[in-house]
Structure 1
Amino acid sequence: MTNEKADWSKAAMTLEITTFTLEEIGSPHASAVLLQHFDSEEGLKSFYWAIPTQAEREQFLLVCAKYRYMVKEGDWVSTVNNESRVVDYLTNSNKLLAIFALIESLSNVKHMEFFDWLKLQGNFPIESKKTLNDLHQLYKVEHGSIKKVMKFFERLSADHQARLCGLLTKHKQPMENIKKLAQFLYDMRSKFAHECKPAVSIHSNDHIQYLSKDLVLVKITIADIMEAFELGLIAHFRERPATPT
């Protein structure tokens, strides 16, 4: 998986692959982003060919390519005042956004619109705004993007989950569980996506911010989140059920 036979910067996004096979184009990107988590190149190859179906192998390679260009080796460059420089908190915010988009793209959970979900609940008429808000919160738990994110982080080993939770402390105590940590990171992603509020707390320095009414010490960095994504990606495809013969 080490021979750079083609540049996939366009092919990964447009799928206009005509000259090389998908493995020839995509394998270098898988190596670039995941080889460090395997004992050898052969170990990564064995993992790849153990993915049950061609469609899933294609999905794996596409995710690796997108992750490489948009996160692993991708930086947001500012040209303000004719100066080309990487702005750390902006590049980290964009990387966080891309990571969660890739996580959501991996999910097989079928999307259901809120109104369609409401009809299935049969809770009509809805008597108050509070009731509607409560139902919307329940909908997000059952069908929202955060459910996909939580499931992804739950694939990490127990030790890794505990280490990540220890990087987010409230009253000197680690975050209760990986779901809470995933929610915290997803909320940070959403504030950037919807309010253009940069995720400044995942830089290299410790940062204090509010979680509800509590002060939280944030030690988790974009490097920690990237490592979690890479290991979660491996776990996602390692857990795929084999196709019956």
Structure 2
Amino acid sequence: MEKILEVTEIALAILESFPPKLSITASGTVPTGGWSNPKLDPYIHIQAPPDGIYDFNFVADPPEGVATQVISPVEAVYIRENLTPDVKGVRIHASQNSKTAMLDNSGQSDRHPNRFTLSGCDGHTHIVFFPQALTPLGASEPPAGAQLQYDGPEGQLIFHGEDITQEQTILGSLISVTLRPDADAGGIDFALVLPPVNLGGEARQDFKTLGIKARSRGRVINPAGAELSYDVLNLKGIAEDIPIL
């Protein structure tokens, strides 16, 4: 394979995937007709480039026989898996020139979590919380309310919309559901303390928090004393901005 004649244009796009991928589309020209298999051949970097710009050669197979003597257009696409924060742009080289395209990261800091996955340190409790029910991109209907999936000693339970109470407190968001209605045997309410999480342009961030089970006593003969007792559960969480296809 040989370098093409000239790079004319580079287009960069972040694909909606998890983890995110970078699509690189390059256009250029070759000196004659008959060139085939255009591709972007990445440089092998022992260490990440300090300026965050990754290099590629724009190459293709030249014709083996007689070819029309006319400058012809070519195009190649390269998908970089697992786009990392250090990638600032790409530089593509041809035989007569090179071009650089910078990645616009201005919108990456605006990412917000749309799924929280939590596991209890007891090994028996798992929770998935969606601040809004996820709908496909481009859907005309407005997003539905929150959803919480609880899997623990009390069973596998799913809560939607009005079944979930959300309050803003000095601790963060307090997400509350009823695991067992108050009855003769006593009820159980569960409150998840959800801190604000800044993704910082990343797709996910780990964090720690806690959940609180409030148990009522149920029907007792002598009602004296505290009517609620509390169990505190330490939780490990993952906040994510997941793409919706």
TM category, shorter: under 0.3
Higher relative contact order (CA 8 A, sep 6+): 1
Structure number with the higher strand fraction is 2
TM-score, reference length from structure 1: 0.25
